[in-house]
Amino acid sequence: MSARIRKAIFPVGGLGTRFLPATKAMPKEMLPVVDKPLIQYAVEEAISAGIEHFIFVTGHGKTAIEDHFDTNPHLEILLKKEGKTDLLNFLKNCTLDSGKISYIRQSEPKGLGHAVWCARDLVAGEPFAVLLPDDLFHCKVPCLKQMVDEYPKTAGNLVAVEDVPQDQTSRYGILSIATDDGKLIRVNGMVEKPSIQDAPSCSAIVGRYILSPEIFSELDKQKTGAKGEIQLTDAMAATLDRVPFHGMRFQGKRFDCGNKIGFLMANIEYALDRADISEEFKKALKNLSF
Ligand code: UTP
């Protein structure tokens, strides 16, 4: 029986350069889809997967994230006075209990692998989840919950997988497949951002992971890979000889909100899904001329 997944790392130390100038003074992870910041979608997904401790790897200019998950007494008093209970409840939903949230600083954005390594002492020897907040998953059963449910079958490392078009393999970590039952893939290798020619498949690792703490024995080496960054994919690949590795095709849709088109599409999809605004939004969309 594999261990329960209690802790999740949210790497939010990146610079978000693809969203400049919006991200000059505001964290990319605070960009709203409709009216909720990306990071809050990720935290809510983690809560529904049973996560109890939330570890944020932050960096320069990311304090808005800490404020977002803290109380705001002035705003609460005002909303109470005005009888705006709905809004008050929204505020309460984004407050995480003291002691359940930790922030650790990544002094320089040296890559995703480095960001995860920064949280090694907080994870303290147990399997843990990693959620990249700029990958937004629109799923009936939240993506991390699907993975946690599958994890007792796999143990080791388990990553969310999406089959991507062949000309997009150079944007992702791509799996080399040993066996594939349509949902679970047993992995025997992986390559970070391969060209079409070098890609072993079109099955890409997307932003949800459950990782064995063994990963830190590789990340400790601080080896750089693609783009001169410390890559999580490289560290996972290096533990293949001793840690079982699986990919899971999740049920649902993913929006890459780290890029402009993905972010805009997410806003449209989520707005159309919202009972309070969808009808008005549909009418407004029909009036657009292309
Ligand atoms: P990305 O590579 O998409 O984020 O990392 P980025 O570097 O901020 O974006 P661009 O390319 O400059 O626009 C995915 C996630 O990993 C985090 C990011 O904050 C994002 O949530 N990350 C990335 C870190 O925490 N540290 C890093 O060194 C790199």
In a domain, 203, yes or no: yes
Find the mean pLDDT for residues 220-231.
91
Residue nearest to atom 2 of ligand 1 (CA): 14
In a domain, 1, yes or no: no
The pLDDT score that the predictor gives to residue 2 is 55
d(CA 163, CA 153): 22
Q: 162 is in which domain, residue-wise?
A: 7-286
Closest residue by Cα to residue 58 from 119, 138, 140, 125: 119
Residue nearest to atom 15 of ligand 1 (CA): 132
In a domain, 2, yes or no: no
pLDDT tens digits for range 84-101: 998 888 888 788 888 899
pLDDT tens digits for range 19-41: 999 999 999 999 999 999 999 99
CA distances, 138 to each of 129, 147, 168 (Å): 18, 14, 21
* pLDDT higher than 80, residue 157: yes
Q: Which residues pair with 33 in a beta bridge?
A: 36
The pLDDT score that the predictor gives to residue 95 is 84
17 lines ligand 1 (CB under 6 A): yes
Q: What is the pTM of this model?
A: 0.95
d(CA 152, CA 216): 21
In a domain, 267, yes or no: yes
CATH value at residue 66: 3.90.550.10
* pLDDT higher than 50, residue 164: yes
129 lines ligand 1 (CB under 6 A): no
CB 53, CB 6: distance < 8 Å = yes
Closest residue by Cα to residue 131 from 252, 27, 38, 32: 38
Pocket test for ligand 1, best of 132, 257, 259 (most atoms within 8 A of CB): 132
* pLDDT higher than 90, residue 124: no
d(CA 47, CA 12): 18
Give the ligand 1 atom nearest the CA of 10: 21
In a domain, 282, yes or no: yes
Pocket test for ligand 1, best of 20, 23, 28, 254 (most atoms within 8 A of CB): 28
Question: Any long-range contacts for 98-102 (C-beta under 8 Å, 24+ apart)?
Answer: 100/52, 100/53, 100/54, 101/53, 101/54, 101/55, 101/56, 101/69, 102/53, 102/54, 102/55, 102/56
In a domain, 196, yes or no: yes
Q: Token digits for 204?
A: 């890409």
The pLDDT score that the predictor gives to residue 93 is 78
114 lines ligand 1 (CB under 6 A): yes
The pLDDT score that the predictor gives to residue 11 is 97
Q: Output the CA torsion sign for 268, 67, 49, 213.
A: positive
Rounded to the nearest angstrom, the distance between the alpha carbon of 240 and the centre of ligand 1 is 25
146: left (phi over 0), alpha (psi -120 to 50) or beta: alpha
Residue nearest to atom 3 of ligand 1 (CA): 258
Residues 6+ apart with CB under 8 A from 160: 137, 143, 147, 205, 206, 207, 208, 209, 247, 248, 250
* pLDDT higher than 50, residue 42: yes
253 lines ligand 1 (CB under 6 A): no
What is the three-class DSSP state of 109?
A: coil
Q: Token digits for 262?
A: 């993905």
13 lines ligand 1 (CB under 6 A): yes
Find the mean pLDDT for residues 167-176.
94
127 lines ligand 1 (CB under 6 A): no
Sequence letter at residue 272: L
57 lines ligand 1 (CB under 6 A): yes
The pLDDT score that the predictor gives to residue 89 is 87
* pLDDT higher than 90, residue 144: yes
User: Confidence band (pLDDT; 50, 70, 90) for 1?
Assistant: very low
Looking up tokens 């350069």, which residue turns up?
17
User: Confidence band (pLDDT; 50, 70, 90) for 255?
Assistant: very high
The pLDDT score that the predictor gives to residue 61 is 87
In a domain, 34, yes or no: yes
CB 127, CB 212: distance < 8 Å = yes
133 lines ligand 1 (CB under 6 A): yes
Q: Output the CA torsion sign for 139, 145, 150, 155.
A: positive
Rounded to the nearest angstrom, the distance between the alpha carbon of 132 and the centre of ligand 1 is 8
Domain count for the chain: 1
In a domain, 238, yes or no: yes
Rounded to the nearest angstrom, the distance between the alpha carbon of 235 and the centre of ligand 1 is 17
d(CA 159, CA 197): 23
Residue nearest to atom 18 of ligand 1 (CA): 14
Rounded to the nearest angstrom, the distance between the alpha carbon of 134 and the centre of ligand 1 is 8
User: Confidence band (pLDDT; 50, 70, 90) for 202?
Assistant: very high
